[in-house]
């Protein structure tokens, strides 16, 4: 089997409302969508969601890089996933989100060629995945309203974005806990918004409020500071922006800087590297979470396949489509409340809606 041509799309998905975290605000999901075509008629689908404030990529830079990446893959056997990805890394070591879209499409093709759903191709089984739902930064009253809405819908965990200032962040968690009661865990994410002193103070203040963990409390590069916060925090810490690839994972384990890893395909470069990260965490006795940027259900389904295939992935943050004003995907994972239900069709089992595709800018590389 050989790759004959690749279609690239400017995959814009409108949001219901702007999304604000400590790093900034986005108003649209400006993603990348690719189709890898083969001489045997199989087509692989991949999606990347370049969250510029985290990965340093934009849709425009990703599309530019994707054209060169596509040319490198033309004529190759798509089943040689490692060889194809190594060629992309040698040419352009950065752009993990763009590379993740190609990685996803290659795994989709490989599982289709094997006539297996992706979770089975990866050596796993279908299991229960329950996602949390994120509460973005807003006035306290609005965040409390969002928490109550999630509870009323049957949410089993809420994820609260923090990282502004000590007083307001403590008030946010206290008010949400008072409103929703004690049973539902609160997961927090500061997106690098604090320094070590503030992080320690906030986490000590909210440590008795059934806070399951805090993601990335301080700057991604400050591993020494992250370790210091962990030593004084009653709340477990999870690496997000500090963790891009397996080399980061080894360093974080060696430094004993965090309790958990947040794996995102768009951040790690795709499934191939995500599996390495999880293996390192598993060997170190650390659980992982599968997370997301602002992907459609296509990439969310791929993330869910990976999570289902690896039991060491214990937390699930797969709520990005909740914020989308349109669902441009056919097939794929379905939400039964907060339960993510995977398809059994070969490959990822999700494709872009042809009607939605017709509205998108397309570039074909032959």
Query: Domains in the chain, start-ordered, CATH in brackets?
Result: 3-114+354-365 (3.30.390.10), 120-351 (3.20.20.120)
Cα(87)–Cα(70) distance, integer angstroms: 11
In terms of DSSP bridges, do strands 339-341 and 313-316 run parallel, antiparallel, or are they unpaired? unpaired
Of 169, 215, 319, 323, the catalytic one is 215
Report pLDDT for 26. Answer: 81
Residues 183-196: what's their mean pLDDT? 97
Per the DSSP assignment, residues forming a β-bridge with 262 are: 289
Termini Cα distance of the chain? 16
Residue 331 φ/ψ region, left for φ over 0, alpha for ψ in the -120 to 50 degree band, beta for the rest = left
- CA pair distance 314, 199, nearest whole angstrom: 25
pLDDT-derived band at 25, boundaries 50, 70, 90: confident
Choosing from 161, 212, 267, 351, the catalytic residue is: 161
Contact 48, 29 (CB under 8 A): no
The pLDDT score that the predictor gives to residue 159 is: 98
Q: What average pLDDT does range 223-240 have in this prediction?
A: 98
The pLDDT-based confidence of 244 (bands split at 50, 70, 90) is: very high
pLDDT at 22: 78
Catalytic residue from among 108, 132, 212, 240: 240
In order of 22, 148, 301, the CA distances from 169 in angstroms are 11, 18, 32
In the predicted structure, residue 24 carries a pLDDT above the cut 90: no
CA angle 207, 212, 217 (to 5 degrees): 70
Residue pLDDT, tens place only, 34-49? 999 999 999 999 999 9
| pLDDT, average across residues 118-123 | 98
Task: Give the integer Cα–Cα distance in Å for 324 and 294.
Answer: 9
* Cβ within 8 Å of residue 221, ≥6 positions away: 242
Q: Helix 271-283 crosses helix 297-309 at what angle (to 10 degrees)? A: 30
Whether 158 has a pLDDT exceeding 90, the answer reads yes
Would residue 319 show up in a list of annotated catalytic residues for this protein?
no
Does 346 score more than 90 pLDDT? yes
Please report the pLDDT score of residue 113 as a whole number.
98
pLDDT at 192: 96
Q: Which of 108, 132, 189, 241 is catalytic?
A: 189
Q: What is the share, in percent, of the chain residues with pLDDT greater than 90?
A: 94
Contact 95, 37 (CB under 8 A): no
Rounded to 10°, the helix 196-206/223-232 angle is: 30
Asked if the model's pLDDT at residue 27 lies above 90, the reply is no
161 is known as an active-site residue: yes
Selecting among 264, 273, 276, 351, the annotated active-site residue is 264
Question: How far apart are the C-alpha atoms of 186 and 147, rounded to whole Å?
Answer: 10
The pLDDT value given to residue 23: 81
pLDDT tens-digit series, residues 76-118: 999 999 999 999 999 999 899 999 999 999 999 999 999 999 9
What pLDDT does 237 receive? 98
12 is catalytic: no
Please count the CA atoms within 13 angstroms of the CA of 67 that sit on its side-chain side: 9
Model pLDDT, residue 102: 98
- 163-176 tens-digit pLDDT: 999 999 999 999 99
Cα separation, 21 vs 11, whole angstroms: 22
Contact (Cβ atoms closer than 8 angstroms) between residue 172 and residue 141 = no
Residue 13 has pLDDT above 90, yes or no: yes
Q: What is the mean pLDDT of the chain?
A: 97
């Amino acid at each position: 089997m050989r790759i004959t041509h690749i279609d690239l799309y400017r995959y814009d998905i409108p949001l219901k409302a702007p999304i604000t975290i400590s790093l900034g605000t986005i108003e649209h999901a400006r993603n990348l969508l690719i189709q890898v075509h083969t001489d045997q008629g199989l087509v692989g689908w991949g999606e990347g969601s370049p969250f510029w404030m985290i990965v340093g990529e934009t849709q425009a830079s990703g599309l530019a890089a994707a054209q060169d990446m596509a040319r490198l893959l033309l004529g190759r056997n798509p089943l040689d996933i490692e060889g194809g990805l190594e060629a992309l890394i040698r040419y352009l070591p950065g752009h993990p989100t763009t590379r993740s879209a190609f990685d996803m499409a290659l795994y989709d093709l490989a599982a289709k060629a094997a006539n297996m759903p992706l979770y089975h191709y990866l050596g796993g089984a279908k299991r229960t995945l329950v996602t949390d739902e994120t509460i973005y930064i807003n006035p306290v009253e609005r965040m409390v309203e969002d928490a109550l809405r999630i509870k009323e819908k049957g949410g089993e965990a809420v994820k609260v974005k923090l990282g502004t200032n000590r007083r307001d962040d403590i008030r946010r968690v206290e008010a949400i806990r008072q409103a929703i009661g004690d049973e539902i865990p609160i997961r927090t994410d500061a997106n690098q918004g604090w320094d070590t002193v503030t992080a320690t103070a906030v986490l000590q203040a909210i440590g008795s409020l059934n806070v399951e963990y805090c993601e990335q409390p301080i700057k991604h590069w400050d591993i020494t500071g992250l370790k210091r916060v962990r030593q004084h925090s009653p709340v477990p810490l999870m690496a997000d922006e500090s963790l891009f690839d397996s080399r980061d994972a080894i360093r974080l384990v060696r430094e004993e800087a965090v309790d958990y890893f947040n794996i995102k395909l768009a951040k790690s470069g795709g499934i191939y590297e995500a599996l390495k990260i999880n293996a390192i965490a598993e060997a170190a006795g650390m659980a992982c979470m599968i997370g997301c940027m602002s992907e459609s259900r296509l990439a969310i389904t791929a993330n869910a396949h990976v999570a289902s295939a690896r039991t060491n992935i214990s937390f699930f943050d797969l709520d990005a489509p909740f914020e989308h004003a349109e669902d441009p995907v056919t097939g794929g994972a379905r939400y039964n409340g907060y339960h993510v239900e995977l398809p059994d069709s070969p490959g990822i089992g999700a494709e872009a809606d042809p009607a939605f595709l017709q509205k998108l800018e397309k570039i074909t590389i032959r």
